[in-house]
Amino acid sequence: MLADLGRPLAGRLLALVPVLFGITLLVFVLNAVALGDPARAAMGQRADPEALERMRREYALDRPLPVQYVTWIGRVLRGDLGQSFREQRPVTEVIFERLPATVRLAVAATVISIVLGVAVGALAAVRPGGALDHVLMGAAVLGISTPVFWLGMMLSLVFAVNLGWLPVSGYGGGDLRYLVLPAFALGALHTGTVARMTRSSLLEVVRQDYMQTARAKGLSEPIVLAKHAFRNALIPIVTVIGIGLADLLVGAPLTETVFAWPGVGRLLVAAVGQRDLPVVMGAVMVFALVYVLGNLAVDLAYLVIDPRTRRGAS
Amino acid sequence: MIRIVAAVVMAALAAASIVFAQAPRQGGTLRAVFNSDPPTLDPAAASDTTSSAVIRQVFDGLLELDEKLTPVSALAERWTVSGDQRTYTFTLRRGVKFHNGRELKAADVKYSFERAAKGKRPWVFEKITGAREYIKGTGAEIPGIRVVDDVTVELRLDKPFAPFLHLMAYDAASVVPREEVERRGGNFASQPVGTGAFRFVSWRRDDQVALERFRDHFRGAPLLERVVFRIIPAEITRFNEYRAGQLDFTDIPTGHCQAAKTDPQLQGEVAIWPTLGTHGVRFNVEKAPFNDVRVRKAVAHAIDPSIIVDRLLEGCVLAARGILPPSLPGYAAGVKRLPLDRELAKRLLAEAGFAGGRGLPAIAYNFNTADANQRIAEVLQSQLKEIGLTVELRRLDWAAHIKLVDDGNVSFFRQGWIADYPDPENFLTVLFHSRNVGAAGNTSRYRNPRLDRLFDEADTLAPSAARYARYAEAEQTILDDAVWISLYHYTSRALIKPTVKGLERTALSSAPEFLSPLRKVWLEK
């Protein structure tokens, strides 16, 4: 089976290159169009003209834009993302010291959304149209439509400030208690989507003829559901999980800001404000890479779940 | 009589405070907070108050400011100024140790100043003879900085400069150990070594900076065992952390000032005090229609800042009469802004040929993104409508705003100013001297030879009524010429736990960073 996956995998990975290239070009052009000068932004309110000139020279901002871009790409190909204007340190250092925090948060939010989402969706599907179904799906819609920033603030107010069960914010040096609230805040939207998709997908499958066949063969209901219904219902659910990665990436900067979580999302927001282009480019590359690789994982999951897609791909 | 009563009351209070005052307690961790990660902890590379807040604890300068903002001895035990006000001779304390154990020498001062002169705040050193050439890269050293012997350093200026001692108390002029800078290279900015009362322990980016007391500090070990600066970007989160008891002080979130003052739990912890800043509206006097003083004056006469001060900002800031804040030495109470007078405003517009605003295109008002700035802009828009002026609001983030302002591409814009050191020179000369047109501070692009002369004269005079009189004259001229319209003076709005003692609230320290010396702070049990 692994051999089957080899070729489609290589193809997908190759397709990544132009995508990443396009993203960097887009970010670079957007930054060039946006007003603002990183040297000026780094100087505070009072800028000495000579110090400004020196910084522009140091940052190579005095060179034409295409030259700046080509130089940057050249360095990236050698594995060097350049120096942060604001921190005067290598961008890789700046990003990699924050990446573990973002990965922890994203993984926790994804696990919450899958476990909680599938459970809620399955429960709701037991008796479609029943009271439980209405309550759970109502909650799912609420999860989808609540802004991350607001939800984060509410969670923190209730569970941290008023009840005192969990810390208000911060990383706590990796203490798991600090992870709970941000992970739920970030995972909420996605939990709702997964729950709704699980419910509708299960209901769809249950109506299929092969389910009747399975029951007619005398299989017990739990086995029918687990083996026949669930596996077939998985494909749309996995799709939603893949698409949901985008929501996580959008939500990460906000969640990290509300919970003072030291991740890449917050770094990106601050870097845009400072016109710290090397950091912006680096952080966007990381996000793009996560998104593209996440979708690649989803594609691979299809290949595993549904043998038909394997034939189609080769 | 009143004086005698006051004296008796004061004496009684003093006696009471002696009886009830607790002895300062040793130990404990002060939990402070920043709203952003400091870009650097290197005094030469810093240009923001967050970085300065850490730098001031880890490093010392030759001098520092006391609670009255007067320069007093720090690394320099004493100093003398020559008769021509151009030579400053500093005698260092003996036995001052860096955190690495090495003793401070006068050569460290020269090294540190020359290094910082090539950093982000070269203006701190540019008055020293030969500094301009050195900063430009044409000199090998700053000849005006002379190491006389191990404990004596002499600084020679091109011309007298009255606030020079303030510059020596500024954190850009901190003293660093050469060997550590050279050994650590770029890492010195993330692992600083100084002589300060607190030594650097750790810095987890976007999370926290930790310091611990330096037992060998030349003033003796500070009272606090540790200081932790949490980095929390959202003001509401800082507020929640404070309420959950996880921070010892923080800022009051925008729009919560009155609520905090009346909250039964918080009101005893609210501290509001004036700082050295002014929120202003400026014109680019080179751009039409504001190259016509009558149009500028019309706008000035049409603006009523009281609505902004009382309603928008809940009365938690100070209404401004002039440009200099009242807490700044040299503040002149007699200086007055152009008063609200809409009839006069309309007449001035008519005289300029724009009766009722006819013939004038919509005026763009530029400001940087912030809740309060947006609401202030809306008030200005509606007030100027009353004299027939149409104002379009242009909101941009800070980096874009400052770029347009510096380059002279906007004509009517918001710009605040907060003094780096407590002297009118750092306000008026920076903002209105013709040599500072552009990014250096004079974004109005205002050129007035009479003002330049006043400023230059004031630089050479010792602090005195005569010196301050020159600034008062200049300030009134600027207001009468309607180059800058003051709206209000900044205040610092903080919540401080009653257990925190000795935290100075000077006009230079503002929440949440508090630029005050934490060696004086202690925590009550």
Q: Please report the pLDDT score of residue B19 as a whole number.
A: 45
Q: List the single range of A17-21, A112-116, B447-451 with lowest mean pLDDT.
A: A17-21
* Proportion of chain B above pLDDT 90, given as a percent: 84
Q: Please report the pLDDT score of residue A2 as a whole number.
A: 54
Of the candidates B433, B450, B410, the residue with the CA atom closest to the CA atom of residue B290: B410
- With contacts defined as CB-CB under 8 Å, which chain B residues touch A47? 406, 439-440
| Mean of all residue pLDDT scores within chain A | 84
Kindly determine whether residue B440 and residue A46, on different chains, have CB atoms separated by under 8 Å.
yes
pLDDT at residue B17 above 50?
no
Top-confidence residue, A303 or B523: B523
pLDDT in tens, A215-248: 888 877 777 777 777 777 888 888 888 777 777 8
Q: What's the distance, CA A281 to chain centroid?
A: 17
Structural Rg of chain A based on CA atoms: 24
Kindly determine whether residue A35 and residue B403, on different chains, have CB atoms separated by under 8 Å.
yes
- Beta strand B87-92 with B76-81 is antiparallel
Name the residue type at position B57.
Q
Give me the residue label for tokens 């208000």: A168
Residue B407, chain A, CB below 8 Å: the answer is: no
Residue A304, chain B, CB below 8 Å: the answer is: no
Q: Which of residues 55-114 of A touch B (CB under 8 A)?
A: 86-89, 94, 97-98
Q: Please report the pLDDT score of residue B74 as a whole number.
A: 97
Give the residue-averaged pLDDT of B425-430: 95
pLDDT in tens, B412-425: 999 999 999 999 99
Backbone phi, psi, residue B30, to 5°: -85, 125
How far from B284 is each of B379, B412, B491, CA to CA, in Å? 21, 6, 27
Q: Please report the pLDDT score of residue A5 as a whole number.
A: 66
pLDDT at residue B191 above 70?
yes
Give the residue-averaged pLDDT of B303-322: 92
CA dist., res. A17 & res. B306, Å (int): 59
Q: Which of residues 13-42 of A touch B (CB under 8 A)?
A: 34-38, 40-42
- Beta strand B391-396 with B208-213 is unpaired
* Proportion of chain B above pLDDT 70, given as a percent: 96
Residue B156's pLDDT band (cuts 50, 70, 90): very high
> Residue A248: exposed, middle, or buried by beta-carbon count in 10 A (0-12, 13-18, 19+)?
buried
Instruction: Check: CB of residue B69 under 8 Å from CB of residue B238.
Output: no
DSSP B83: T
pLDDT at residue B6 above 70?
no
pLDDT in tens, B475-499: 999 999 999 999 999 999 999 999 9
Q: Please report the pLDDT score of residue B21 as a whole number.
A: 58
Q: Please report the pLDDT score of residue A52 as a whole number.
A: 82
Q: Please report the pLDDT score of residue B114 as a whole number.
A: 97
Give the residue-averaged pLDDT of B220-239: 95
On whether ipTM exceeds 0.90, the answer is no
Kindly determine whether residue B397 and residue A273, on different chains, have CB atoms separated by under 8 Å.
yes
Q: Which of residues 408-447 of B touch A (CB under 8 A)?
A: 417-418, 420, 430, 438-441
> CB contacts < 8 Å between A and B, how many?
136
Q: Please report the pLDDT score of residue A274 as a whole number.
A: 85
Give the residue-averaged pLDDT of B44-70: 94
Q: List the single range of A31-45, B90-104, B317-331 with lowest mean pLDDT.
A: A31-45
Q: Please report the pLDDT score of residue A65 as a whole number.
A: 85
| Mean of all residue pLDDT scores within chain B | 92
- With contacts defined as CB-CB under 8 Å, which chain A residues touch B118? 54
Residue of B nearest to A93 (CA): B205
How far from A7 is each of A1, A3, A13, A305, CA to CA, in Å? 11, 8, 10, 17
CA distance A198 to chain B (A): 35
Top-confidence residue, A3 or B205: B205
CA dist., res. B479 & res. B481, Å (int): 5
Give the residue-averaged pLDDT of B421-434: 95
Residue A309's pLDDT band (cuts 50, 70, 90): low
